[in-house]
Amino acid sequence: MSGILNSSIGRKFAMALSAFFLMVFLLQHFSINILSVFIPDTFNVVSHFMGTNPLVQYGLQPVLIFGVIFHFVMGFALEIKNRKARQVSYAKNNGGANSAWMSRNMIWSGLAILSFIVLHFIDFWIPEINTKYILGDMTGMHNGEFRYYHELVEKFHDPLRVGAYVIAFVFLALHLLHGFNSAFQSVGANNKYTKGLKRFSKIYAIGIPLGFIFIALFHHFNH
């Protein structure tokens, strides 16, 4: 087992496992955020729970951060190794003849998502950590009511930020359109269910980012 992470297949497998974890997280994140559109009060309650529950904060949150860091560090490491595997490039290469754009450009869609995560952390995560763990305010309240919904809505006033979020989610969709099925192939799942899974992957890969775009635009135009 010791050398498995040094092997090409072991790294593929690790990449896929972190991808599965992140895709589940994405679904959970979306499920909570969509509440802000339909039932803001429930969104506040769930946000407060997620923001203060010790299991989430000290258990799941570090695992999530590790998962994100692992996924992009491993992604970069593999990209560097793969580039070394062809030091002289072709004078003419017709990649579009045999593979999808998304599959050939995971590093670029991944970098766009990484840039978005930095912006997202500056927007939400760092202020949240500051309020709770630096200032020590664990109440989740502001002017007598939960602050989460207002903080969310406020962030989507700026059209530039909304634009950046929309672009990032388009890249997320492109990343998932290849990544979802790729993760299954990497763990060795290529069987009679693969065709159905490919159809489902399109729904997930387009549906989730589209949902996030809807949330951002809804709050932008509704307030």
Comparing CB distances to other proteins, the nearer of 88 and 160 is 88
Report the chain's terminal Cα–Cα distance, integer Å.
55
What is the number of other CB atoms lying within 10 angstroms of the CB of residue 133? 11
In whole angstroms, the minimum distance from the beta carbon of 74 to other proteins comes to 10
d(CA 121, CA 202): 27
Residue 175 found at the interface with other proteins (CB under 8 A): no
Q: Which two tokens stand for residue 196?
A: 């159905």
Binding piece for other proteins, criterion CB under 8 A, among 28-36, 49-57, 75-83, 152-160: 75-83
Comparing CB distances to other proteins, the nearer of 67 and 75 is 75
d(CA 179, CA 174): 9
d(CA 100, CA 173): 14
Q: Which two tokens stand for residue 36?
A: 């802000």
Residue 97 found at the interface with other proteins (CB under 8 A): yes
Residue 1 found at the interface with other proteins (CB under 8 A): yes
For other proteins, the binding residues (CB under 8 A) are 1, 4, 7-13, 78, 81-95, 97-100, 103-104, 106, 178, 181-182, 185-191
